Structure 1
Amino acid sequence: MADEVKIGTAPFDPRFPNQNQTKHCFTSFVDYKRCTKLRGEDYAPCKYFEKAYNSLCPNAWVEKWESQIEEGTFPTKI
């Protein structure tokens, strides 16, 4: 029998109660990058932010932000 795939989305975050989730997306991306910078990619609590930004952010935005981080032009300190 094949492995079951569990589909889900970002859990509720009371800091972002509105329908527009753009800020939630960006904040989760930045929080993930900061978390992994401090604790490493294998640190389990960082996975919360990774799941949130993967669920909420368009792939094109993530690709752009990754490029900006590499180029040193990302608008927020990580």
Structure 2
Amino acid sequence: MAEDIKTKIKNYKTAPFDSHFRNQNQTGNCWQNYLDFHCCEKAMTAQGGDVSVCEWYRHVYKSLCPISWISTWDDCQAESTFPGKI
């Protein structure tokens, strides 16, 4: 399975269609992939697993989210004031 993920990441161009977020506003999709990446990373680190399987979420949120949002959210995480549940 990890090889499938690595192949997808290698061939990655932009975020694929997600039927949960059908409209043009992709704010929710951006937010959800940001949370999914950090939750996946946290879970895989706790289990001692391969964190590289979480990279798909990182690629998706980096293609959808404005850089200023990502840097703000990263700063909030560093300060333990992030509003999402990770």
Interval of TM-score (by shorter of Structure 1 and Structure 2): 0.7 to 0.9
Does residue 70 (structure 1) correspond to residue 78 (structure 2)? The answer is yes
In structure 1, list runs of 5 or more residues that go unmatched: 1-5
Q: For 1:5-59, what per-residue CA distance to the aligned partner results, in whole angstroms no more than 9, with x for missing partners? A: x671111111111110011001100100000111149434312211110100011
Question: What count of residue pairs does the alignment treat as equivalent?
Answer: 73
Aligned to 2:51: 43
- Partner residue of 1:29 out of 26, 31, 34: 34
Q: How high is the TM-score relative to the length of structure 1?
A: 0.82
Letter in 2 for 1:33: H
In structure 2, relative to structure 1, the CA distance for the partners of 1:45 and 1:15 (3 Å cut) is: farther
In structure 2, relative to structure 1, the CA distance for the partners of 1:7 and 1:34 (3 Å cut) is: closer
In structure 2, list runs of 5 or more residues that go unmatched: 1-10
Aligned to 2:64: 56
Which structure has the highest helix share of the two? 2
Letter in 2 for 1:27: Q
Runs of 4+ residues over 6 Å off in structure 1: none
